[in-house]
Structure formats: structure tokens, C-alpha cells
């Protein structure tokens, strides 16, 4: 049988998705279903003088209407689930509906339930809210200045937390021959998963059981947190993530809205559905990034980097969202090492409240913000000392023989070979020829640029002990159960909850490989807390390294037990058996063997069991990784800037990624493509813009530019394979690498193209206007 | 809003007569009234294209058409792509080339592909990317969608060639 591990098998998820037979949350229809709509604040900051829902209650089709006051004492507040230690983190209560004050445009103030979605929305217009507008602050640095509006009494100067890490860098800066200082603004992004958030709740008053279907990346975490908000015991609450139309981090968080839907279903005794529209998604679903970063790099003229310092102001928005405190700290600050031997690192982060939509994880979460700093600084440093940017990178790489490598921020990089990835990239680019072409074109008045990004990322989130030490209010292990049926078919239950990443296929490949059975004989189940015992979800590229490792372990256990049965069936000692290609074979006796399917049947018939062995073939594994995984790679982008319009044309994009062993090349490549494009989105087009009153000016897809098909050349993908040394599969995770790497690669390329104009940096997104102005200013 | 208008629409070959609110959008008619949930709603500004269907053979965003406007028309949704229980070559192309991840935008992508290949059976990559202008995908980076459309075009042409050859034989 050909090995299934490493094979580009077509995804088993696809048939239901390409025929319209998949069920997303909003597709769910239940008898008696009613529909909820949420009235959201039009003010970024205001006192609520009064809310009158009487007219709405009497509107046609309306079943109920609630204000924040109606809910007081009957439902809890929205928790923060990353309680950052060694900081002064404040987590002011976040009510599910605002009671006397709204703090951002989009803050929920009332809930209406009606017999149709349209009638629920109609009724929102009948609610009278008297607001007393308050002064607004949207910029995180300004928010810390004296005299600025205070969002929460318990957070003076709007500081949600102050956190520091690193081993101190003052020595490096005192001795530096070269210092590069810069301020970067890592712009705020809006995740925009194509499927808006949605929830359907059904309550059974006689059993006290609540079923909540919702757009979730982590149903078990949602069950855990919502159980607290709703006061429903965890074993009576079932959270189901059916088909989920993308998440990119935005479906990790615990929001007020899904809790409200569940509350209404319990209150009214009928199933309730709510689905946000895109406008609502823009203001009510968490945003990403939004850092002001003051950074400096110390180095020597020979190209050696000796130190890095960063002071960062990260906007939390109006409340501290679920995982928000961990994003600009643990996932960002600890990663400022990048791919380089930087002996001294110092980082200071302020998390700050502003009158904006709360921020939280967004694809890459923290690592793109860190990589951007490091990769831009390396380029600025290279330019200052007059050295080729690829050469500076190579000189500073952590060498392949230095792994495991302890960083000054306290992480241990598991394995890597950064120089090989860069070599492969330079070869694919034909780098010397590219530089010659750049020179030639410049003479013709055309502006070509080449930008690099050699990155390391932290993923495969676990170990649980570390999760606890850094304040994450959960474990980060994962679970798998393999249930072998009498005919030898296998059901796999995973605690991760993929939503587009294709793990149903990947995990089936892991099991088929381990058991030597056809991949079609394996079915993978996920996303339902009623079916899967426990798991911590899909984010941080943890699904295959952690969840997949659990699957591999559980499969090993199934084989162990099957071996016991097989030995009994063949009347030999277990050690006398080999297990290959799905058969237990007596060593040296070619005629004597039993198949996995034979064993499965006998294990279930249980007519003749080995002594002391229980019937059936089922095994579970709970895998807690001993370390994170550290994928890496080298990306490059070639752009040409239009002299007349400032438009950036992507000419080539070449990615070399190392995510450890590759289980399904097709899926890995797809993840890279998507990730790269998402990162390029930040570089060139995407950016949330608030006005001084806290109104989101980019509040719809008409104002917020998402990447489109025609903007891109073919993305060229290459791989190296450096196995993770600490998990049974040797895999590292690839869901975020592209997003992490591509933003700085593109910005480096554009800045390189604009070198003749003396341009040293431009803030993302690099709109034609910005680029054109830079060329105009440079000319003067 | 209590006034309702009678309409008759043929969806995937089946004729439906219903009374609808004048303000009801075609996408909601398909999803809510007929229960055909394969067509998705991704935005409220007609930017994303997730709700694309064929209306009398033309690709339209069903969130920009009122159900009442579709009175008397033929509508094809993603549910209508399969023929005799077989996947359509466009569906095959998307499956084979990994042209989808979360699948939410996919029905719209499939329908816009159908419209493209109806008018241009052999599009260049550039033409494909242009045709996808009104459809957003957040997962795939579009590259495999382009490959999928190209693959679909090839296999549809192969089929046409086969059919033509078979007819030729019959004729002889």
C-alpha cells in the first residue's frame, strides 16, 4: 500500500462544501425558531440616560426586548481568559449589554427577539435611547496622557497592563557602533472571515440542557466560559461548531452576543438565532494588531546585531477581550528574537483602553507584529551599513547546529536550519540577476524592489504548564479518541476544531498510515462538545502539532491493543509479530498473519479473548506537548512601483517555508497561499480607520479593501523539512507562517524600490497615495 | 410591510409559486423561503459575492435582486450544479485543485465560474482573475481557485470534444 503520509490527497471535506450541502450556523432551521437582533451604540463613548423598548416590544412579530438593566443579576459578564501575570492587568467588567455607559461604536445596548430577522431589525428602530455623549479617545498613546477621557474607573490613564520581558539591552546599546531607531505603526486590521458570526440556541427546560450552535474555533473553551456567564452547569451545555466559514482568530473570543442568544432561548423557551451582518461584524467582532512600536536595534559595522529594544503601545479597544492580553505580550514580546542571534533584548508593552472595538487574536496574533519589527529593522540596519539585506540576515542567523536554542526572552527554539531556507530562496529568485535587473530598470526610470523576510514563528500552542505560567486560563493539551468499529472502520474524535484547514483529511492520513488501512475507512469528527470529550480548539497553528499528535498517540494505542488480540489469534508471543501495511505477521512464517480488520472483528465478537483483556478496540490519548513548535522560512517579494500613480505591482512572491514534516502537501501549500495573501493585505490595502469621534470610517467592505484575485501573481512555494524533534509526527504547523512573513517582505520590497527617493519607511497599508507622495517628497 | 406579492420562479428546474414581501431579497427567498441554504450571505453591500447565483444564465449577486424581480425567471444555485448525481466539472475542478478551504465563499465562486465559462470557454489566468473580481475569498489566496477554474475549463472542453466526436461517429 502506498504511504498516505506525505501524499497530496484531495480533501474529504470538499464534497459537502461544493454541493451546497454543508451546514453553517446560519443554515440551521429549528421548529419554532425566532430571531434576535442587537441594537448597537452609534456613539464611541456616552452615558446612557434612558432606554425605552416599549414601542419595540409592541411592534409586529416581536417576542421580547431586553436592555442591560433587564439582564442585571440574571447573566454574568464576559470574562477575560488570559490573565497575564507579572503585570498589573485590569479587567473591568464587560456586561453583555451596556448598562449606563457605552464605550465603543458597536457596544450592545438592547436585544430584540422577533418572528423574523427582518422584523427584529425593524423593531430596533423603535427603541429610544437617550445618550449623553462623552469625550472620546481612539489613539492608545493619547489615551495615556493626562486629561484624556477615562474608560474605566479601575484603570487610571487607561492602562490595562504594563508588561516587560527580556534580559536587558542597555549594554548592547552603550557599546553599539550602529544604532537604528524607528517608530512603526502596526495598523489595526479587521479579520473579515467570510462567514459572519452566528449563533442558534435551543433550551430544554425539562432537562435543563442547552444546545448552542455557534461560529467557534474552540467550542470547548466557549462551553467553559459560557457556562460561567449563563450559570448553566458545563455538563448541561453543549456547544456545537458546525461548518465554520473561516475564523482567523476572530472566532476564538467569547463575545456578549452568543451569550445573549442563549439567554433569550432559555428565557423564552423557544430556539433563538442571531447572525451578524457584515456592518455589524466590522464593529462588533474583534479587530487585530494596532500597535505603536518604538524600536531600536544595536549593531556593529560588520553587520552583527547585538541588541534590540522595543516600547510598544497596544490598543485593547474598550474592553479586554478573551485572549487579548496574551497577544501583544507572550505571543509578541517573546518573539522579538526572530531568526537571529540577538544577545540582548528588552521589551516593554503597555496595553491601553481606547474607545474602539476590542482587539484580540488575528491570524498570527503577535508574531506578525514582532516579525515586522525585526525584519524592518534588519533592512534599515543593512541600508545604514551599506550591506546587502540577505547577507545581514545570513550573518546573524542562529546556526543550524545551535538547536535547541535558548533565547534571551526565555523560549527554546526546537529545531531549525535558517540558512538553507534562505539559500533555496535566493536560488529560486536568481538573486544576482534580479539586482542587475533592478539597476538596469532604475536607469530607465522604473522602480523595482526586492524585499526579504526571514522569520521564525511560535506555534503548536501548549505545553499546558507554560500556558498556566503565562496566565492563560486553560490547558493547551489536546485529545483524540479512536473508536474502531467491528468492520475495521475507524471514527476519530479530535478536540481541535478545524474550520477550513482540512484536518479531517490530514488526521485521516495520520490514522490510515498508523493502522495500515485505507484512508477512506477513517472518519474524523470534531467541533461538538456533546461528541468530543475535551479539547482546546484550533488557533495558533496548534491543530496538527498538538491535536494531530494526540491522534497519532491514540492510533499507537489501538495498535498496541490490536497486537494483543493478534498474538492470541495466531497463538504466538506479541514480540513475534510485525505490523506492516495493516497486517500482523508472524516473523519468519509468511503464511501466518491476520489483518487489522480481522482483529477488529474478533475484538468486538469477544468470543475468545486473551485473558484479562477487555473487548473492543478503542483508545484515547491526551497529548500535552513538551514545547512549542517553531516553524521558519524565508520569503521574498519583488515589486514594481508605478512612478506616476504610486501603485505597487506585485511581480513575484516566493516563499520557502519549513513547517517540519509535511502530511499533505496540497493542504500545506493552500495554507501558505492564504496566509501570504492575508499578510499582503495588511501591507498594501487593509487598515481600520477611526475618526476622532471614534467612528469607524472603514466600516464596510465598500471602505475596507480586502485582497482580490487580480492583485496577485502566482505565489511560488518551496519547502524545507526540519522535523519538530519533540512530537510524534515531527510536524510544526503552517496556518500562520504566510501572514507572519509576507507583510514585512512586501514593505521591504517597496522601500527598496523607493531607495532612489531616499525613502526609509512607509506605514502600512502602502496605498498608492502614500507611495506617490513619498516619491514626490523624495524628489524635492 | 404586510402587503405580499405573488411570484413564480424556477429554481434548479423546479417551479415555485410563493407570496413574498416586496422588500425580500432573492438570497433570502432562496435561503429562508425555499430552504436552499447552499447560497450564502457574506456581506450587506454586494461586495463579497458569496450569494452569487445564475439568473436566466447570468451571474448575479442574489443580494442585489429582489425576489419579486426574479418573477418568471430561471435561477440556478449551487444545489443545481450536479447533473444526474454527478459533480459538475466546475465542482470537480475545485475539489481537485484545492480551490476552497472553509467553503463559505465557494458556492458563489462556483456560480461565477459557470457564468465565465459559458461566455468564455477558454479563459486565460488573467481573465479568470478578472472574472473573480466581485467575489472575495479570505482563505485560499485565490491561486488554487484560478487553478480550479482553469481545470474546469479544460475538462469541459474535453467533454465537448468527446460529445462532438461521438456525434460525428453517429453521423457516419
pLDDT higher than 60, residue A780: no
Residue to test with chain A: of B138, B145, B146, B152, most A Cβ within 10 A: B138
A25, with CB counted inside 10 A (0-12, 13-18, 19+), is buried
Q: Rounded to whole angstroms, how far apart are CA atoms B42 and A278?
A: 7
Q: pLDDT per residue over A243-263, tens digit each?
A: 999 999 999 999 999 999 999
Q: Which residues, in sequence order, are CB contacts of A695 under 8 Å at separation 6+?
A: A44, A105
Q: Rounded to whole angstroms, how far apart are CA atoms A172 and A297?
A: 9
Q: Rounded to whole angstroms, how far apart are CA atoms A275 and A197?
A: 6
Q: Rounded to whole angstroms, how far apart are CA atoms A220 and A210?
A: 14
Q: Which residues, in sequence order, are CB contacts of A772 under 8 Å at separation 6+?
A: A645, A646
Instruction: Give the one of B104, B110, B145 whose C-beta lies nearest to A709's C-beta.
Output: B145
Which of A733, A723, A713 shows the shortest CA–CA distance to A636?
A713
Q: Are A351 and A316 in contact (CB under 8 A)?
A: yes
Q: Is B44–A23 a contact, with Cβ atoms under 8 angstroms apart?
A: no
- Are A607 and A529 in the same domain? yes
Instruction: Give the one of A24, A27, A246 whose C-beta lies nearest to B138's C-beta.
Output: A246
pLDDT higher than 90, residue A126: yes
Q: Is A19–B1 a contact, with Cβ atoms under 8 angstroms apart?
A: no
Distances from the Cα of A512 to the Cα of A156, A480, A506, A507, A663, angstroms = 57, 15, 10, 9, 12
Walk me through the domains of chain B, giving residue ranges and CATH numbers: 5-80 (3.10.20.30), 89-171 (1.10.150.120)
Q: Rounded to whole angstroms, how far apart are CA atoms A542 and A733?
A: 6
% of chain A with per-residue pLDDT over 90 = 99
Residue A467 lies inside a defined structural domain of this protein = no
Residue A296 lies inside a defined structural domain of this protein = no
Q: Find the mean pLDDT for residues B51-60.
A: 98
Q: Are A388 and A757 in contact (CB under 8 A)?
A: no
Retrieve residue B84's grid coordinates: 444526474
Retrieve residue A367's grid coordinates: 508574531
Return the C-alpha torsion angle B62, B66, B67, B71, nearest 10. Answer: -110
Q: Is A192–B138 a contact, with Cβ atoms under 8 angstroms apart?
A: yes
Question: Which chain B residue has its CA at the smallest distance from A710's CA?
Answer: B129
Chain A hits for B27, Cβ within 8 Å: none
SS3 per-residue string spanning A110-157: EEEEECCHHHHHHHHCCCEEEEEECCCCCCHHHHCCCCCCCCCCCCHH
Residue to test with chain B: of A23, A274, A681, A709, most B Cβ within 10 A: A709
CATH of the domain at A603: 3.30.365.10
Q: Are A656 and A601 in contact (CB under 8 A)?
A: no
Q: Find the mean pLDDT for residues A571-588.
A: 97
Output the average pLDDT for chain A: 97
DSSP state of A272: E
pLDDT higher than 50, residue A567: yes
Task: Measure B45 CA to nearest chain A CA, in Å.
Answer: 7
pLDDT higher than 90, residue A106: yes
> Residue A2: its pLDDT value, please?
46
Q: Is A20–B77 a contact, with Cβ atoms under 8 angstroms apart?
A: yes
% of chain B with per-residue pLDDT over 90 = 91
- Are A486 and A557 in the same domain? yes
pLDDT higher than 60, residue A464: yes
Retrieve residue A597's grid coordinates: 480488520
Q: Is A670–B140 a contact, with Cβ atoms under 8 angstroms apart?
A: yes
Instruction: Give the one of B35, B81, B105 whose C-beta lies nearest to A29's C-beta.
Output: B35
Task: Measure A208 CA to nearest chain B CA, in Å.
Answer: 29
Return the C-alpha torsion angle A609, A615, A618, A624, nearest 10. Answer: -80
pLDDT band at A4 (very low <50, low <70, confident <90, very high): confident
- Are A556 and A696 in the same domain? no
Which of A310, A304, A311 shows the shortest CA–CA distance to A342?
A304
Residue A118 lies inside a defined structural domain of this protein = yes
Chain A hits for B102, Cβ within 8 Å: 193-195, 243-246, 499-500
Residue A191 lies inside a defined structural domain of this protein = no
Task: Measure A143 CA to nearest chain B CA, in Å.
Answer: 33
- Are A455 and A482 in the same domain? no
Q: pLDDT per residue over A708-748, tens digit each?
A: 999 999 999 999 999 999 999 999 999 999 999 999 999 99
Chain B hits for A284, Cβ within 8 Å: none
Instruction: Give the one of A24, A122, A715 whose C-beta lies nearest to B143's C-beta.
Output: A715
Q: pLDDT per residue over A212-246, tens digit each?
A: 999 999 999 999 999 999 999 999 999 999 999 99
pLDDT higher than 70, residue B115: yes
pLDDT higher than 90, residue A779: no
Q: Is B47–A700 a contact, with Cβ atoms under 8 angstroms apart?
A: yes
Instruction: Give the CB-side neighbour count of residue A540, counting CA atoms within 13 A.
Output: 30
Q: How far is CA A65 from the centre of its chain?
A: 35
- Are A107 and A207 in the same domain? yes
Task: Measure A355 CA to nearest chain B CA, in Å.
Answer: 25
CATH of the domain at A41: 3.90.1170.50
- Count CB-CB contacts under 10 A for residue B149: 29
Residue A9 lies inside a defined structural domain of this protein = no
Which of A721, A729, A735 shows the shortest CA–CA distance to A513?
A729
Looking at the DSSP bridge assignments, the partners of residue B61 are B52
pLDDT higher than 50, residue A573: yes
Q: Is A700–B44 a contact, with Cβ atoms under 8 angstroms apart?
A: yes
Write down the H helix ranges in B19-142: 26-28, 89-96, 106-119, 125-131
**Widest CA span in chain B:** 63
Three-state SS at A2:
coil
Helix (H) or strand (E) holding A737: helix A737-753
Task: Measure A651 CA to nearest chain B CA, in Å.
Answer: 14
DSSP state of A647: P
Q: Is B39–A715 a contact, with Cβ atoms under 8 angstroms apart?
A: no
Q: Is A194–B48 a contact, with Cβ atoms under 8 angstroms apart?
A: yes
Instruction: Give the one of B45, B96, B139 whose C-beta lies nearest to A10's C-beta.
Output: B96
Q: Could you tell me the residue range of the domain that residue A564 belongs to?
A: 477-623
pLDDT higher than 60, residue A394: yes
Chain A hits for B47, Cβ within 8 Å: 700-702
Q: Find the mean pLDDT for residues A179-202.
A: 98
Q: Is B101–A670 a contact, with Cβ atoms under 8 angstroms apart?
A: yes
Chain A hits for B135, Cβ within 8 Å: 709
Going through B4-101 in order, the beta strands assigned E by DSSP cover 5-11, 14-20, 52-55, 58-61, 74-76
Q: Is B102–A674 a contact, with Cβ atoms under 8 angstroms apart?
A: no
- Are A512 and A598 in the same domain? yes
Which of A681, A85, A44, A692 shows the shortest CA–CA distance to A362?
A681
Q: Is B103–A122 a contact, with Cβ atoms under 8 angstroms apart?
A: no
Number of folded domains that form chain A: 3
Q: Is A243–B35 a contact, with Cβ atoms under 8 angstroms apart?
A: no
A237, with CB counted inside 10 A (0-12, 13-18, 19+), is buried
- Are A688 and A755 in the same domain? yes
Q: Is B132–A499 a contact, with Cβ atoms under 8 angstroms apart?
A: no
Q: Is A499–B102 a contact, with Cβ atoms under 8 angstroms apart?
A: yes
Residue to test with chain A: of B66, B136, B139, B140, most A Cβ within 10 A: B139
- Are A601 and A632 in the same domain? no
Instruction: Give the one of A499, A502, A677 whose C-beta lies nearest to B141's C-beta.
Output: A677
Chain A hits for B44, Cβ within 8 Å: 277-279, 700
Q: Is A17–B100 a contact, with Cβ atoms under 8 angstroms apart?
A: yes
- Are A272 and A399 in the same domain? no
Which of B42, B26, B32, B109 shows the shortest CA–CA distance to B74?
B26
- Are A72 and A100 in the same domain? yes
Write down the H helix ranges in A276-366: 278-284
Q: Find the mean pLDDT for residues A488-515.
A: 98
Domain-terminating residue out of A592, A623, A654: A623
Q: Rounded to whole angstroms, how far apart are CA atoms A117 and A52?
A: 21
Q: pLDDT per residue over A506-520, tens digit each?
A: 999 999 999 999 999
Instruction: Give the one of B78, B98, B145 whose C-beta lies nearest to A666's C-beta.
Output: B98
Question: Which chain B residue has its CA at the smallest distance from A194's CA?
Answer: B42
Retrieve residue B93's grid coordinates: 475542478
Q: Rounded to whole angstroms, how far apart are CA atoms A349 and A367?
A: 14
% of chain A with per-residue pLDDT over 70 = 99
Chain A hits for B36, Cβ within 8 Å: 20
**pTM score above 0.90:** yes
Distances from the Cα of A484 to the Cα of A555, A685, A766, angstroms = 10, 49, 54
Domain-terminating residue out of A597, A623, A649: A623
- Are A114 and A221 in the same domain? yes
In the numeric block, the cell 513547517 is attached to: A659
> Residue A760: its pLDDT value, please?
96
> Residue B170: its pLDDT value, please?
67
Q: Rounded to whole angstroms, how far apart are CA atoms A565 and A603?
A: 7
Residue A149 lies inside a defined structural domain of this protein = no
Domain-terminating residue out of A623, A658, A693: A623
pLDDT band at A1 (very low <50, low <70, confident <90, very high): very low
Q: Is B101–A246 a contact, with Cβ atoms under 8 angstroms apart?
A: yes
Give me the total of CB pairs closer than 8 Å, taking one residue from chain A and one from chain B: 180
Residue to test with chain B: of A10, A20, A251, most B Cβ within 10 A: A20
Task: Measure A602 CA to nearest chain B CA, in Å.
Answer: 38
Retrieve residue B20's grid coordinates: 413574498
Q: Are A612 and A547 in contact (CB under 8 A)?
A: no
Instruction: Give the one of A20, A24, A670 whose C-beta lies nearest to B144's C-beta.
Output: A670
pLDDT band at A5 (very low <50, low <70, confident <90, very high): confident
pLDDT band at B2 (very low <50, low <70, confident <90, very high): low
pLDDT higher than 80, residue A360: yes
- Are A662 and A614 in the same domain? no
Q: Is A709–B128 a contact, with Cβ atoms under 8 angstroms apart?
A: yes
Question: Which chain A residue has its CA at the smallest distance from B141's CA?
Answer: A674
Instruction: Give the one of A670, A675, A701 whose C-beta lies nearest to B45's C-beta.
Output: A701
SS3 per-residue string spanning A594-627: EEHHHHHHHHHHCCCCCCCCCCCEEEEEEECCCC
Q: Is A278–B21 a contact, with Cβ atoms under 8 angstroms apart?
A: no
Residue A163 lies inside a defined structural domain of this protein = no
> Residue A729: its pLDDT value, please?
97
In the numeric block, the cell 479544460 is attached to: B154
Amino acid at each position: 500500500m502506498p504511504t498516505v503520509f506525505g501524499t497530496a490527497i484531495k480533501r474529504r471535506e470538499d464534497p459537502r462544501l461544493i454541493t451546497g450541502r454543508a451546514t453553517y450556523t446560519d443554515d440551521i432551521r429549528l421548529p419554532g425558531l425566532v430571531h434576535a437582533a442587537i441594537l448597537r451604540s452609534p456613539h464611541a463613548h456616552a452615558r446612557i440616560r434612558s432606554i425605552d423598548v416599549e414601542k419595540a416590544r409592541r411592534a409586529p412579530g416581536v417576542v421580547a426586548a431586553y436592555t442591560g438593566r433587564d439582564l442585571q443579576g440574571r447573566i454574568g459578564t464576559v470574562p477575560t481568559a488570559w490573565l497575564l501575570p507579572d503585570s498589573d492587568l485590569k479587567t473591568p467588567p464587560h456586561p453583555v449589554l451596556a448598562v449606563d455607559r457605552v464605550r465603543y461604536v458597536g457596544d450592545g445596548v438592547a436585544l430584540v427577539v422577533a418572528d423574523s430577522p427582518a422584523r427584529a431589525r425593524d423593531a430596533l428602530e423603535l427603541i429610544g435611547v437617550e445618550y449623553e455623549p462623552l469625550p472620546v479617545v481612539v489613539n492608545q498613546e493619547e489615551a495615556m496622557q493626562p486629561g484624556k477621557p477615562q474608560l474605566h474607573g479601575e484603570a487610571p490613564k487607561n492602562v490595562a497592563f504594563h508588561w516587560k520581558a527580556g534580559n536587558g539591552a542597555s549594554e548592547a546599546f552603550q557599546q553599539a557602533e550602529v544604532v537604528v531607531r524607528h517608530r512603526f505603526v502596526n495598523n489595526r486590521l479587521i479579520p473579515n472571515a467570510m462567514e459572519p458570526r452566528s449563533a442558534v440556541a435551543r433550551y430544554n427546560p425539562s432537562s435543563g440542557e442547552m444546545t448552542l450552535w455557534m461560529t467557534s474555533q474552540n467550542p470547548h473553551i466557549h462551553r467553559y466560559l459560557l457556562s460561567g456567564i449563563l450559570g448553566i452547569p458545563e455538563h448541561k451545555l453543549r456547544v456545537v461548531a458546525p461548518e465554520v466559514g473561516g475564523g482567523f482568530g476572530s472566532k476564538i473570543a467569547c463575545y456578549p452576543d452568543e451569550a445573549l442568544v442563549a439567554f433569550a432561548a432559555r428565557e423564552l423557551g423557544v430556539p433563538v438565532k442571531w447572525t451578524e451582518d457584515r456592518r455589524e461584524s466590522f464593529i462588533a467582532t474583534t479587530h487585530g494588531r494596532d500597535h505603536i512600536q518604538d524600536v531600536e536595534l544595536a549593531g556593529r559595522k560588520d553587520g552583527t546585531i547585538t541588541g534590540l529594544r522595543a516600547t510598544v503601545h497596544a490598543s485593547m479597544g474598550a474592553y479586554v477581550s478573551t485572549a487579548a492580553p496574551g497577544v501583544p505580550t507572550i505571543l509578541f514580546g517573546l518573539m522579538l528574537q526572530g531568526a537571529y542571534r540577538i544577545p540582548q533584548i528588552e521589551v516593554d508593552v503597555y496595553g491601553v483602553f481606547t474607545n474602539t472595538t476590542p482587539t484580540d487574536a488575528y491570524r498570527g496574533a503577535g508574531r506578525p507584529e514582532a516579525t515586522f519589527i525585526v525584519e524592518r529593522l534588519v533592512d534599515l540596519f543593512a541600508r545604514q551599513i551599506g550591506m546587502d539585506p540577505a547577507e545581514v540576515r545570513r550573518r546573524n542567523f542562529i546556526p543550524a547546529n545551535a538547536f535547541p536554542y535558548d533565547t534571551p526572552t526565555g523560549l527554546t527554539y526546537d529545531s531549525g536550519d535558517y540558512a538553507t531556507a534562505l539559500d533555496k530562496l535566493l536560488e529560486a529568485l536568481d538573486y544576482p540577476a534580479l539586482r542587475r535587473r533592478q539597476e538596469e530598470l532604475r536607469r530607465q526610470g522604473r522602480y523595482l524592489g526586492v524585499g526579504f523576510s526571514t522569520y521564525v514563528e511560535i506555534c503548536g500552542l501548549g505545553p499546558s504548564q507554560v500556558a498556566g505560567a503565562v496566565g492563560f486560563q486553560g490547558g493547551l493539551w489536546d485529545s483524540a479518541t479512536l473508536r474502531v468499529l467491528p468492520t475495521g472502520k475507524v471514527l476519530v474524535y479530535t478536540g481541535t476544531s478545524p474550520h477550513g484547514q482540512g484536518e479531517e483529511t490530514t488526521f485521516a492520513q495520520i490514522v490510515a498510515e498508523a493502522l495500515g488501512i485505507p484512508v477512506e475507512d477513517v472518519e474524523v469528527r470534531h467541533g461538538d462538545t456533546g461528541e468530543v470529550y475535551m479539547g482546546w480548539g484550533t488557533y495558533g497553528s496548534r491543530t496538527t502539532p498538538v491535536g494531530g499528535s494526540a491522534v497519532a498517540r491514540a492510533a499507537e494505542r489501538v495498535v498496541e491493543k490490536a497486537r494483543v488480540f493478534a498474538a492470541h489469534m495466531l497463538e504466538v508471543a506479541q514480540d513475534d509479530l510485525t505490523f506492516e501495511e495493516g497486517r500482523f505477521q508472524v516473523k519468519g512464517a509468511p503464511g501466518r498473519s491476520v489483518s487489522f480488520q480481522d482483529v477488529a472483528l474478533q475484538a468486538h465478537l469477544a468470543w475468545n479473548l486473551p485473558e484479562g483483556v477487555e473487548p473492543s478496540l478503542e483508545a484515547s490519548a491526551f497529548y500535552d506537548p513538551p514545547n512549542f513548535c517553531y516553524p521558519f522560512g524565508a520569503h521574498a517579494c519583488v515589486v514594481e512601483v508605478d512612478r506616476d500613480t504610486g501603485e505597487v505591482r506585485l511581480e513575484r512572491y516566493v516563499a520557502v517555508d519549513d513547517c517540519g514534516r509535511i502530511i499533505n502537501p496540497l493542504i500545506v501549500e493552500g495554507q501558505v497561499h492564504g496566509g501570504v495573501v492575508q499578510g499582503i493585505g495588511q501591507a498594501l490595502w487593509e487598515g481600520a480607520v477611526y475618526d476622532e469621534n471614534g467612528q469607524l470610517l472603514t466600516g464596510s467592505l465598500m471602505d475596507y479593501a480586502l485582497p482580490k484575485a487580480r492583485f496577485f501573481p502566482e505565489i511560488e512555494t518551496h519547502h524545507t523539512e526540519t522535523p519538530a524533534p519533540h512530537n510524534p509526527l515531527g510536524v510544526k504547523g503552517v496556518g500562520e507562517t504566510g501572514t507572519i512573513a509576507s507583510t514585512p517582505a512586501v514593505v521591504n520590497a517597496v522601500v527598496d524600490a523607493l531607495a532612489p527617493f531616499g525613502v526609509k519607511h512607509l506605514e502600512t497599508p502602502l496605498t498608492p497615495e502614500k507611495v506617490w507622495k513619498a516619491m514626490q517628497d523624495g524628489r524635492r | 410591510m404586510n402587503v405580499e406579492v405573488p411570484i413564480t420562479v424556477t429554481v434548479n428546474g423546479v417551479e415555485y409559486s410563493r407570496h413574498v414581501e416586496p422588500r425580500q431579497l432573492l438570497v433570502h427567498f432562496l435561503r429562508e423561503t425555499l430552504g436552499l441554504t447552499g447560497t450564502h450571505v457574506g456581506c450587506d453591500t454586494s461586495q463579497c459575492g458569496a450569494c452569487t447565483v445564475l439568473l436566466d444564465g447570468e451571474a448575479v449577486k442574489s443580494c442585489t435582486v429582489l425576489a419579486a424581480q426574479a418573477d418568471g425567471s430561471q435561477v440556478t444555485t449551487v444545489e443545481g450544479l450536479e447533473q444526474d448525481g454527478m459533480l459538475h466539472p466546475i465542482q470537480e475542478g475545485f475539489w481537485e485543485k484545492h480551490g476552497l478551504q472553509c467553503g463559505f465563499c465557494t458556492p458563489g465562486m462556483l456560480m461565477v465560474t459557470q457564468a465565465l465559462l459559458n461566455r468564455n470557454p477558454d479563459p486565460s489566468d488573467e481573465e479568470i482573475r478578472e472574472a473573480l473580481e466581485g467575489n472575495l475569498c479570505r482563505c485560499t489566496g485565490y491561486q488554487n481557485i484560478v487553478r480550479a477554474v482553469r481545470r474546469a475549463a479544460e475538462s469541459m472542453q474535453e467533454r465537448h470534444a468527446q460529445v462532438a466526436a461521438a456525434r460525428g461517429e453517429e453521423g457516419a
